[in-house]
Chain A
Amino acid sequence: MVAKEIDRREFIAEVGIRLVGTGLLLNQLTAKAAFGENKGSSTKKNRKLNMEYRTLGKTGLKVSAVSFGVMRLKEPAVLYKALDLGINFFDTADSYQNGNNERMLGKVAKEYGRKKIFIATKVHPFYLQKEVSEEYRLLAKKALDEKMEESLKRLQTDYVDVLLMHNIMNKSWPLNQEILAFLENLKKKGKARFVGVSLHDPRVYLDVIDQVSKAPIYDVLIAWFNFKSPSEHGEALKKAKKANLGVIAMKTQAGGYTKGSSTSLSPQQAALKWVLEKDFVDCAIPGMVNIEQLIENVGAVGKKVSWNDRKILHTYFNSIKHHYCIMCGKCYSTCSNSIDINTINRALMYCEGYRDFEWGRQTYRELSSRMNGLSCMDCSSPTCHCVNGIKIAERMKHAHTLFA
């Protein structure tokens, strides 16, 4: 496409001619018309895109295999693009951006057609986390109902398709009588069509899935699951699926490392395919903040994990296992120079994993010269050792070269 310089008058004329030529007058270009145009064309595109829809357990909802973790998103254009690509299930929470995430989703849902999409939101039973007075407990319990009302208001709807108790951290929470009563009441009043829990704490992972699978009130489970998950997590999710729960996978891409960060491959798609290929997973909700990520993730739909994908994941895993620090802290005592290995690894993760060089550099530069990688540069006999195989000395030098 060749660009040419034009002056102000030609500029106005050209825009006018171009738009009239395509049947779009300038004054018709309101937001709705513009979005309407895209939606119209997307109906045709969806057929070609071949988005896969799966039944979300006992809810019977037909949700897109790749759904949307809205969480960090601030740009509604990405939601419109997702709708155009056939995504119909959107996950948010009252706490994401202090409710602004729900506000944005609510606005888009209203404009697009609330009934055409499925919305999941979450509230956290925060008062169960610590011992509180009876008075406080009653107040907090009442606050759960208020939180739900506020969420509905922000989402501009009178119901959500799925309401989840957020981040279950204790195995007693799912069967807590107050929580059960709260959820039953929401279902009864039609404010939540279905209910469930979200879960990632490995300490309670198996117990919570076991309890939720046995409690008839629960319909859906959102759980941390990716190609690095322990096999018993997969087994637990299989049981949940057998109990007819809708199983939604989150944190599907393990660490956020993307193509170009450590290999020339696209591990995001392979990681997503790996999750979606499990017949006990109904959908995945990767968090996305821009159109490029969205397109990359949707590209995984309907594709089987090929031999090449397995190779990609293997290579990817091998490439991150030497720098993906799990922050166990066991390495500290092995370094004779008392380098702050964890922090340096974390700085590298921000840079390589989250693709935020500035953040990595900032974290690194907070360390004094005695605790950063300076001493590693001429350390001829490193004693440092990582139980998980991270090549510490090499990584410390790399960090120093990168950030110092």
Chain B
Amino acid sequence: MKKGIFLKIIILSSALVLFSLNGAKVMAASSMERLLPQGSSVSRWQLSAYHHYLPENLYNYINGAADLFISYGFIKLVGADYTSGAGKRENMVVDIYDMGRKLNAFGVFQSKRDPESKSLKIGAGAFGSEKYIFFYKDRFYVEIQTFLPSDKSSDVAMKMAQKVANGIAGDCAPPSELNYLPDASRIPGSEMYITGGILGHAFLDKGLVSDYKISGGVAKAFVAFFPSKEHAVKALDQYKSYLDAAGETWQALNGFGERGFFSKEPYHKIILVAQKSHFVVGVADLSHAEKGRELLKSIIRRIKNSI
């Protein structure tokens, strides 16, 4: 008897666990669908169909552009087609990309940022026009495209973007990692999160880069992220080996730890490089090494304050 009750409890609890697991899966998909406005909240626009994509089939939807998203950790896309007007003449597509984390969403956003488009106040960053709006907030990157037959001025994309952004939880702050880059002399909008090779080097796989105005020229500062101090030290050694192979002479850089160095570098004029904790930091494209010292110091100071 006791055995029977015990078995029943086991079966019941297993069923409950399975049910909750399936439920969780459904929630995961529908929670993103819930970010897509519908009904009275979007007045005349009617949601006609959802679409879902994963890394293995994103290519079917956006062709080779999929590689960019995948390189930034794309998890899934949930989007919807909207129609409006007699004969469904007006169309709008809203695509929400789950990029896993804010820094990845920022990476995609900055890669796609059109330097000629105006910045908009939506989410953590946005740009676009009447016809399209791209923005990111928290771990989501969002694209809204409208196809309106008339050339009349319209704010539908803007309104939709605001609604989607409001539905996404989280703040509208940029990724905290950007704090490593000093504000002074930074060229706004030039910040990028790079994956695959800062300055074109595989050994500087991931990190932030930004342009700075220095003494009338433009230099590039970078902060490469590594899992540990040992990895950062190894990357610095690889950097030196690269310069050796390129026939450049690197020299130690006083005041930047035992591993800091400066050198000429093919395609990047003069560079200053140092290691701090699990970061490799540097300033490139300098006409004169001395011009990068203050910026490099400032970055290291910011890293020190954050760890």
Instruction: Give the residue name and chain of the A residue nearest to B286 (CB).
Output: A29
Chain A residues with Cβ below 8 Å from B261 are: 3
Binary contact track B60-95/A, C-beta < 8 Å → 1, others 0? 101111011011010100000000000111010000
Q: Are the C-beta atoms of A38 and B267 separated by less than 8 Å?
A: yes
Give the secondary structure class of B's interface.
mixed
Q: Smallest CB-CB separation from A94: which chain B residue?
A: B65
| Contact A35:B68 (CB < 8 A) given known A5-B252, A166-B63 | no
Residue contact A4 to B267, C-beta cutoff 8 Å: no
User: Does B170 interact with chain A (Cβ within 8 Å)?
Assistant: no
Q: Are A97 and B194 in contact (CB under 8 A)?
A: no
> Is B288 a contact partner of A26 (Cβ separation < 8 A)?
yes
Q: Are A98 and B267 in contact, CB atoms less than 8 angstroms apart?
A: no
**Contact yes or no, B266 A354, CB < 8 A:** no
Contact bitstring A1-26, B, C-beta under 8 A = 1, else 0? 10111111001101100110000001
A290 touching B202, Cβ below 8 Å:
yes
* B153 interface contact, C-beta 8 A: no
Give the segment of B5-13, B33-41, B110-118 that binds chain A: B110-118
Bound CA–CA A14/B62 (angstroms): 52
Residue of B nearest to A326 (CB): B56
Partner among A11, A139, A287, A290 whose Cβ is within 8 Å of the Cβ of B254: A11
A74–B112 Cα gap in the complex (Å)?
11
A-B contacts at CB below 8 angstroms, number:
171
B269 lies within 8 A of A136 (CB)? no
The 0/1 profile, CB within 8 Å of B marked 1, for residues 331-354 of chain A is 000000010000000100010001
A324 CB → nearest B CB, Å: 12
Q: Cβ of B111 and Cβ of A14 under 8 Å apart?
A: no
Q: Answer yes or no: B168 CB below 8 A from chain A CBs.
A: no
Contacts of A18 in B (CB 8 A): 249
- B44 is an interface residue with CB less than 8 A from chain A: no
A8 and B254 contacting across the interface, CB-CB below 8 Å? yes
**CB contact list, A74-98 vs B, under 8 A:** 74-78, 80-81, 93, 95-98
> Contacts of A77 on B, CB cut-off 8 Å?
199-200, 266-268
Question: Chain A residues with Cβ under 8 A from B147's Cβ?
Answer: 136, 139-140
- Encoded as 1 (CB less than 8 Å from any A CB) or 0, chain B from 98 to 141 comes to 00110000000001111100000000000000000010000000
Known A-B contacts A77-B200, A167-B63, A346-B56; the reply to A35 vs B267 at CB < 8 A is yes
Q: Is A26 a contact partner of B194 (Cβ separation < 8 A)?
A: no
**Cβ proximity bits A263-301 to B, threshold 8 Å, 1 near / 0 not:** 000000000000000000000000101111100000000
Is A31 a contact partner of B269 (Cβ separation < 8 A)? yes
Within 8 A of A (CB), among B245-295: 249-255, 261-262, 264, 266-270, 285, 287-290, 293
B196 & A289 in contact (Cβ 8 Å cutoff): yes
Question: Are B89 and A135 in touch, CB under 8 angstroms?
Answer: yes
Contacts A95-B64, A124-B63, A354-B71; A74 near B254 (Cβ below 8 A): no
Question: Looking at B266, B268, B289, which has the most chain A CB atoms within 10 Å of its CB?
Answer: B266
B195 within 8 A of A: yes
Contact of B253 among A11, A26, A133, A200 (CB under 8 A): A11
Residues of A close to B59: CB separation below 8 A: 167, 200
Let me know if A139 and B244 touch, CB within 8 A: no
A74 and B288 contact, Cβ closer than 8 Å, known pairs A136-B147, A291-B201: no
Q: Give Cα A28 to B181, complex, Å.
A: 28
Q: Is the CB of A72 within 8 A of B68?
A: yes
- Binary B-proximity of A97-122 (CB < 8 A = 1, otherwise 0): 11110010000000000000000001
Question: Closest approach, in angstroms, between the C-beta of B21 and any C-beta of chain A?
Answer: 6
Name which of A52-60, A355-363, A384-392 contacts chain B. A355-363
Residue in B55, B64, B196 whose CB lies within 8 Å of A96:
B64
Most buried by A among B65, B115, B249: B65
Interface size class of A (residues with CB under 8 A): 35 or more
Tell me how far the C-beta of B272 lies from the nearest C-beta in chain A, rounded to whole angstroms.
10
Nearest A residue (CB) for B148: A139
Given A95-B62, A169-B60, A354-B71: A289 and B113 interface contact (C-beta under 8 Å): no
Q: Which residues of B contact A98 (CB under 8 A)?
A: 111-114, 134
Beta-carbon contact of B262 and A15 below 8 Å? yes
Whole-angstrom distance between the alpha carbons of A20 and B254 in the complex? 22
Q: A80-B267, A135-B149, A366-B75 are in contact. Are A97 and B285 (CB under 8 A)?
A: no
Interface: B214 (CB within 8 A): no
CB distance from B213 to the nearest CB of A (A): 15
- Contact between A38 and B112, CB atoms less than 8 A apart: no
Please give the distance in Å from A211's CB to the nearest CB on chain B. Answer: 19
- A163 CB–B CB distance under 8 Å: no
Which residues of the partner chain B approach A366 to less than 8 Å between Cβ atoms?
75
Give the distance in Å from the alpha carbon of A29 to the alpha carbon of B291 in the complex.
13
- Rounded to whole angstroms, the CA-CA distance of A84 and B163 in the bound complex is 49
B200 touches A75 (CB 8 A): yes
- Contact across chains for B194 and A74 when beta carbons are under 8 A apart: yes
Contact A26 B91 (CB under 8 A): no
Q: Which residue of A lies closest to B54 (CB)?
A: A346
B198 at the interface (CB under 8 A from A): yes
Contact with A along B24-35 (1 / 0, CB 8 A): 100000000000
Jot down 11 A-B pairs with beta carbons below 8 A, ordered by A.
Answer: A1-B250, A8-B255, A11-B262, A31-B285, A35-B267, A75-B197, A81-B266, A96-B68, A97-B65, A133-B87, A292-B201
Extra pairs beyond A71-B67, A124-B63, A167-B63 (10, CB < 8 Å): A29-B269, A35-B267, A81-B267, A95-B65, A122-B63, A133-B89, A169-B60, A292-B202, A338-B18, A368-B21
B interface residue numbers (CB < 8 A to A): 17-18, 21, 24, 55-56, 59-60, 62-65, 67-68, 70-71, 73, 75, 87-89, 91, 100-101, 111-115, 134, 147, 149, 192, 194-203, 240, 244, 249-255, 261-262, 264, 266-270, 285, 287-290, 293
The 7 closest A-B pairs by CB, nearest first: A290-B197, A289-B196, A98-B112, A77-B267, A292-B202, A77-B200, A3-B252
